Amino acid sequence: MRQIRRALLSVSDKTGLVPFARALHEMDVQIISTGGTARTLGEAGIPVLPVEQVTGFPEMMEGRVKTLHPAIHAGILADRRKPEHLQALRDAGIEPIDLVCVNLYPFEQTVARPDVTLDEAIENIDIGGPTMVRAAAKNHESVAVVVDPADYEAIVQEMQANAGALSRETRRRLAAKAFAHTAFYDAQISAYLREQFMPETLFPAELTVALRRAQDLRYGENPHQQAAFYRIPNFTEPSIATARQIHGKELSYNNLLDCDAALELVKEFATDRPACVIIKHTNPCGVAVADSLPEAVERARMADPVSAFGGIMALNRAVDAETAEKITAPNTFFECIIAPAFAKDALPILTEKKKWGANLRLLEVGELTPPQPGLILRGLTGGVLVQTRDAQLLKQAQSAESQLVSLGLTVVTKRQPTDEELEQLLFAWKVVKHVKSNAIVLAKDWVIVGVGAGQMNRVQSVRLAAEAAGERAKGSVLASDAFFPFPDNIEVAAIAGVTAVIQPGGSVKDQEVISAADRLGLAMVFTGIRHFRH
């Protein structure tokens, strides 16, 4: 146990400060403090020793320099187990500090403001605070460090139960938390300054990522795995990380993955007509665009009603009562509904129907925007892959002839796609980038009628998509996330009734594939863009 006789309190977040300081004072702990913290405690009637009386120097440079002084840092860093450290304190007339309670300038909140200036951001980079925190955490055998107001009550209770002392276990736990706190703080500063000063450097030699735990999850992908969900601070794009859950039990690890897949796909239609996406195991099993949201829901569900049951649904429009009735139609169920908003009259329909309310989750994400550029991270055993986000979009066509060039598309077959075929090709192309490779999507009349996902060879994905579509494959179009390595893919598609194909191109056998399409009367468009999704 280590007795706490002298404490330094200097906090930006003053939540719980006064009760904590009062409890310390009542246990005869001398309190040293700075600036606004000292004023707050003084106004509460708690005796405080101003830091300038300890250092012999007034605060300087608008408060930039106040604790960076041997009288402070020697008092924090002296290892009480070493007689020579204690003698050095006595020789210098410095008293030891046993507890450091510091939280840092509000850098995160400052840079979150849309109107923040660079000067304001720089001014909110704390220097003295992290220095004291790191010093106290390093010297945890002798000093307790507190960075989180949520710890105040437990610290007070332990001290009251142990004649003003804290255990080694507590000091160690607090030290580990303190280093995590300063690392998180520095990671945010690093990210902000890299964006301001080095925007062209996507992949720096050292990359630090600040993440804050949003919730513990019941388990991971399987019950024997542990899991938690972390958020990126100040991330504002509509996403599962920023969504507001307005109904239902907590989302699981798998729910969150599926919800993210559904929302990211429906964002492709953020500015389009009403759209509905249904996801099962991160792959789309139903996608439709229609003139009304209820119609889009019905058409997406009927694309594959067996797979849709128990899936995740995402919508690009607010859910009204009519749409809610369509969602909760007989013989169907969805784990979660994600939408920009939910009308008041839609909520009772979704939350009070038998077998629905207790099991359904509702996530409100606000007005959708198309996918934005940025970085995505993917964990490997022992490392992390980092890449730019696949935010490449093709615009909606107005006519085949006028839009092909501006879209960056190349017709490689003798037959040009019709206007209607081109519209459906672009619709399917938006969807195929969200299907696991090897990915094949068949579309017809603004509905995805067949999906082939995650197969080891592409022709098998074509067969699966055609099998899922059945008779609906006749007159459909096909999107492939990557090139066709052999003409057999085109032959299988043509037998199924596909009339037009969109694919990246780039195979050494492109000409054989094109010749097969010409022979079978298909139109084929190359995008020059691949959309692998592993």
306 vs 308: CA distance, rounded Å: 6
**492 Cβ partners below 8 Å, 6+ apart?**
459, 462, 463, 466
Instruction: Give the active site residue among 14, 177, 247, 281.
Output: 281
Instruction: Note if 281 is an active site residue.
Output: yes
Can you give the pTM of this predicted structure? 0.88
Domains, the chain, ordered by start: 2-197 (3.40.50.1380), 240-364 (3.40.140.20), 390-526 (3.40.140.20)
449 vs 427: CA distance, rounded Å: 12
Burial track 395-410 (b if 16+ CB lie within 10 A, e otherwise): ebbeebeebbeebebe
- The one-digit pLDDT tens for each residue of the chain (534 residues) are 888 999 999 999 999 999 999 999 999 999 999 888 999 999 999 999 888 877 777 776 766 776 778 878 888 988 888 888 888 888 888 899 999 999 998 999 999 999 999 999 998 998 889 999 999 999 999 999 999 999 999 999 999 999 999 999 999 999 999 999 999 999 999 999 998 999 888 898 888 899 999 999 999 999 999 999 999 998 989 999 999 999 999 999 999 999 999 999 999 999 889 999 999 999 999 999 999 999 999 999 999 999 999 999 999 999 999 999 999 999 899 999 999 999 999 999 999 888 887 789 999 999 999 888 888 899 999 999 999 888 876 654 444 455 565 567 889 999 999 999 999 999 999 999 999 999 999 999 999 999 999 999 999 999 999 999 999 999 999 999 999 999 999 999 999 999 999 999 999 999 999 999 999 999 999 999 899 998
Give the pLDDT confidence score for residue 206 in this predicted structure. Answer: 87
| Cα–Cα distances in angstroms (integers) from residue 479 to residues 340, 363, 425, 489, 530, in the given order | 28, 30, 7, 12, 11
Instruction: Note if 181 is an active site residue.
Output: no
The gap between the terminal CA atoms of the chain, to the nearest Å, is 53
252 vs 238: CA distance, rounded Å: 20
Instruction: Give the active site residue among 138, 177, 247, 353.
Output: 138
**220: three-class secondary structure by DSSP:** coil
Give the pLDDT confidence score for residue 408 in this predicted structure. Answer: 75
